Amino acid sequence: MTLNPGTAVYTGTFDPIHLGHLDIIARGSNIFERLVVGVGINPDKSPFFDMAERIAMIGDVIKPYPNVEVQGFDGLAVTFVRRIGARVMLRGLRSASDMEAEFTMSLMNLNLDKEIETVFLMAMEPYSHLSSTLLRQIATFGGVLDKFLPPLVSAALQKRARDRTTR
């Protein structure tokens, strides 16, 4: 199968999607003809939101971008990227510590499939401190989330955090 250089896959856990992710999606959609958001399973994390919930939230917030779509995958990211027919895996970089982990990951992916290149976009300054992990913690302790998340995601995260603490 020939891989299309105009197609990119933005992989991640997105538990949940936040404004930093959305900024990478918006900028990626201006570079690539087609951008697929690939929602993966992280075996080291037990998610707040299951795969179907994460996909539904992403589906909602990508509506303004006609060349962006969302799909779930399990297994290796490079296998999914090849299945989509994309040449490019898109990732966001927040900090030097992200860089170290992403550097190793992108070289490993290149070893697994030499035709798939990872392309990085630097996080925009207002979002560079955002992570889904931190936002889940803030939600758990009842902090305000509206500045960091699309409204629908903020409401869902607050509800999920409340449900988990009263369980």
Residues that bind ligand ADP (CB under 6 A): 12-14, 20-21, 24, 42, 91-94, 98, 123, 127, 130-132
In the bound state with ligand ADP, the residue whose beta carbon lies nearer, of 21 and 82, is: 21
- Catalytic residue at 63? no
Question: In whole angstroms, what is the distance from residue 1 CA to residue 24 CA?
Answer: 27
- State in angstroms the smallest separation of the CB of 17 from ligand ADP: 8
Per the residue annotation, which of 27, 34, 94, 160 is the catalytic one?
94
Name residues whose C-beta falls within 8 Å of residue 89's C-beta, 6 or more positions apart in sequence. 8, 9, 10, 11, 77, 78, 81, 106, 109, 116, 117, 118, 119
- Catalytic residue at 21? yes
In the bound state with ligand ADP, the residue whose beta carbon lies nearer, of 56 and 166, is: 56
- State in angstroms the smallest separation of the CB of 164 from ligand ADP: 19
In the bound state with ligand ADP, the residue whose beta carbon lies nearer, of 71 and 131, is: 131
Per the residue annotation, which of 18, 21, 82, 87 is the catalytic one?
21
- Catalytic residue at 94? yes
- State in angstroms the smallest separation of the CB of 125 from ligand ADP: 10
- State in angstroms the smallest separation of the CB of 2 from ligand ADP: 26
- Catalytic residue at 45? yes
Q: Tell me the catalytic residues.
A: 21, 45, 94, 132
